[in-house]
Each structure stands twice: as structure tokens, then as C-alpha cells.
């Protein structure tokens, strides 16, 4: 539950980090795609890699943010606690998503960021943006694309997971979870029922009932508590049926 805002960088990491940044570029993970070798050399020293266990928080709402974070692996949830103490999960961030960009603008964080699974992130310090503004204006376009991506994700979250009956919302959540799988046909992270309820605005009981029902229907198979295999053909077919039902 600690917030490792500043992590002492192991000397041994300096070299691997340069390699990681280069890999990011190769894989079009985007932010530094336009950087040349020299600029990359200059920047990679400022970027730290951080590991979080499930439940650990990356930052908290209203903290004066010092960095944004790009997710390298795992799933991070962005959530808010309203005046009545209820949590609401705003959206999830997976590999190559960036969270906490508001820190780059000198603003405090707009939500809590908490690891759902084991997570690796790269820390992008606030002053990086200032340097980029000065030296590499072209990079700012990549930054802006990240903001736009976050906005697209938010809009999609709202239209997919905040609309329609509970069963359809659960099905769409499963579909979204499949996007976070490392490889196709691999087990996906299965959120706790309480997390589901905070994502889909329903009670834990309803989430539990629907997941159990979908297990019986053969849409998913659980392996342990926090992992499941999705049977994508069944899932997609069920989702289609669901959409037709309401249309008829």
C-alpha cells in the first residue's frame, strides 16, 4: 500500500534500462519513437523501472505528482473514492498505457492508481517534459497522442461498461480483460468481485452471480481465484446473442 514515489535506482539497472527504452522504441511503444540515439542516451538515465505487488498503489489522488508512469506489464486500475466512501474504478491501464500524465503539467493526480496484478512500470519524471519542450518539440506530439489515447479509453469505458443490463456489462468486461492478456488464449487476470462491482456499478452479489452463471455456460474457466481462461468463441457468441435479445 506504500507509494514508491522515488525509488533508488540500482546501479546495475542503468544499462538494462537503456536497452529497455530502446526496445520500447522498437515495439512502437511510442513515446520515444522519434528520438535519435543520442537523445535516447540522455533520457534513459532519468527513467526508473518500478515493480509493484497486487494492491500496492502507484500514486494517490491529490498528491502533488512528480512523474507519469508507463505500464510495461500487468494491469493498473485508476479509481476514485467519492464523498460517501465508495470506490469507483474509472478505467484500467495495461501494457504501453501511460497513467498520471497530469503530473507532467504540474497538477496533482486526478485519481488513485493501484496495481491489480503484479506490475512493472517505467517512471517518467516531471522535468522530462520541460526538457522535451526545449530540445525536441516533435516529441510533444507523441505526448499529446498519449493524452488522446487516454481520452479514447475513457470514452470506450463509458460506452462499453456503463451501459445496459448487468449481464452485458460483465460480458464486455471479460472482453476487455482479454485485451490485457500477454498472449492470446492465455489465462487472463480475473478481478475480485468487489473490483468488478466498482468497475460496473453493481453489487458484489450480482457480479458473483453473473460470473458463476457464465462459468456454468462455459464462457470461462477459473484457475485459482484471480485467474481464468476465456473461451473467446463462446464469449463472442454470447455477446452477440445478448445484443440481439434486446433488439428483438
Please tell me whether residue 148 binds a second copy under the rule CB under 8 A: yes
Please tell me whether residue 105 binds a second copy under the rule CB under 8 A: yes
Q: What's the CA gap between 187 and 185, in Å, rounded?
A: 7
Residues binding DNA (CB under 7 A) = 165-167, 192-194, 201-206, 208-209, 211-212, 215, 222, 224-225, 246
Q: DSSP 3-state assignment of 208?
A: helix
Please tell me whether residue 154 binds a second copy under the rule CB under 8 A: yes
Binder of residue 143, out of a second copy, DNA, none (CB less than 5 to 8 A by kind) = a second copy
Name residues whose C-beta falls within 8 Å of residue 235's C-beta, 6 or more positions apart in sequence. 171, 174, 175, 178, 219, 220
Binder of residue 225, out of DNA, a second copy, none (CB less than 5 to 8 A by kind) = DNA
Closer Cβ to a second copy, 20 or 170, answer by number: 170
∠ CA 61-66-68 to the nearest 5 degrees?
80
Name residues whose C-beta falls within 8 Å of residue 111's C-beta, 6 or more positions apart in sequence. 61, 78, 79, 80, 90
Q: What's the CA gap between 226 and 203, in Å, rounded?
A: 19
* Among the listed residues 138, 230, 130, the one whose alpha carbon sits nearest the alpha carbon of residue 181: 230
Q: What is the DSSP string of 146-168?
A: HHHHHHHHHHHHHHHHSSS-HHH
Over the window 66 to 95, marking each residue x when it contacts a second copy by CB under 8 A and - when it does not, the resulting string is ------------x-x-xxx-x-x-x-----
Please tell me whether residue 212 binds a second copy under the rule CB under 8 A: no
**Is residue 172 a contact partner of residue 158, using CB atoms and an 8 Å limit?**
no
| In the complex, minimum distance from the CB of residue 233 to a second copy, in angstroms, rounded to a whole number | 19
Closer Cβ to a second copy, 53 or 158, answer by number: 158
Closer Cβ to DNA, 5 or 242, answer by number: 242
* Among the listed residues 119, 105, 111, the one whose alpha carbon sits nearest the alpha carbon of residue 189: 119
Closer Cβ to DNA, 131 or 242, answer by number: 242
Please tell me whether residue 140 binds a second copy under the rule CB under 8 A: yes
Report the residue from 3, 9, 150, 222 that binds a second copy according to the rule CB under 8 A. 150
Please tell me whether residue 194 binds a second copy under the rule CB under 8 A: no
Q: What's the CA gap between 60 and 142, in Å, rounded?
A: 25
Residues that bind a second copy (CB under 8 A): 78, 80, 82-84, 86, 88, 90, 101-102, 104-105, 107, 110-111, 133-134, 137-138, 140-141, 143-145, 147-148, 150-152, 154-155, 157-159, 162-164, 201, 243, 246-247
Amino acid at each position: 500500500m506504500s507509494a514508491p514515489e522515488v525509488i533508488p535506482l540500482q546501479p546495475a539497472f542503468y544499462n538494462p534500462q537503456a536497452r529497455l527504452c530502446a526496445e520500447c522504441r522498437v515495439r512502437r511503444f511510442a513515446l520515444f519513437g522519434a528520438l535519435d540515439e543520442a537523445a535516447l542516451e540522455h533520457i534513459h538515465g532519468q527513467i526508473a523501472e518500478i515493480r509493484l505487488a497486487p494492491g500496492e498503489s502507484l500514486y494517490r489522488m491529490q498528491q502533488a505528482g512528480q512523474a507519469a508512469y508507463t505500464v510495461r506489464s500487468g494491469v493498473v486500475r485508476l479509481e476514485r473514492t467519492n464523498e460517501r466512501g465508495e470506490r469507483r474504478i474509472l478505467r484500467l491501464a495495461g501494457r504501453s498505457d501511460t497513467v498520471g500524465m497530469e503530473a507532467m503539467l504540474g497538477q496533482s493526480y486526478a485519481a488513485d492508481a493501484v496495481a491489480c496484478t503484479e506490475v512493472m512500470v517505467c517512471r517518467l519524471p516531471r522535468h522530462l517534459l520541460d526538457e522535451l519542450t526545449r530540445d525536441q518539440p516533435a516529441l510533444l506530439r507523441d505526448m499529446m497522442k498519449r493524452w488522446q489515447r487516454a481520452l479514447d479509453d475513457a470514452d470506450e469505458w463509458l460506452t462499453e461498461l456503463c451501459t445496459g443490463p448487468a449481464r452485458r456489462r460483465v460480458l464486455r468486461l471479460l472482453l476487455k480483460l482479454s485485451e490485457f492478456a500477454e498472449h492470446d488464449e492465455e489465462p487472463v487476470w480475473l478481478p475480485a468481485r468487489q473490483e468488478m462491482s466498482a468497475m460496473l456499478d453493481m453489487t458484489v452479489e450480482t457480479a458473483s452471480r453473473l460470473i458463476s452463471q457464465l462459468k456454468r455456460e462455459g464462457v470461462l474457466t477459473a484457475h485459482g481465484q484471480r485467474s481464468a481462461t476465456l473461451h473467446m468463441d463462446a464469449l463472442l457468441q454470447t455477446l452477440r446473442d445478448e445484443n440481439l435479445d434486446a433488439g428483438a
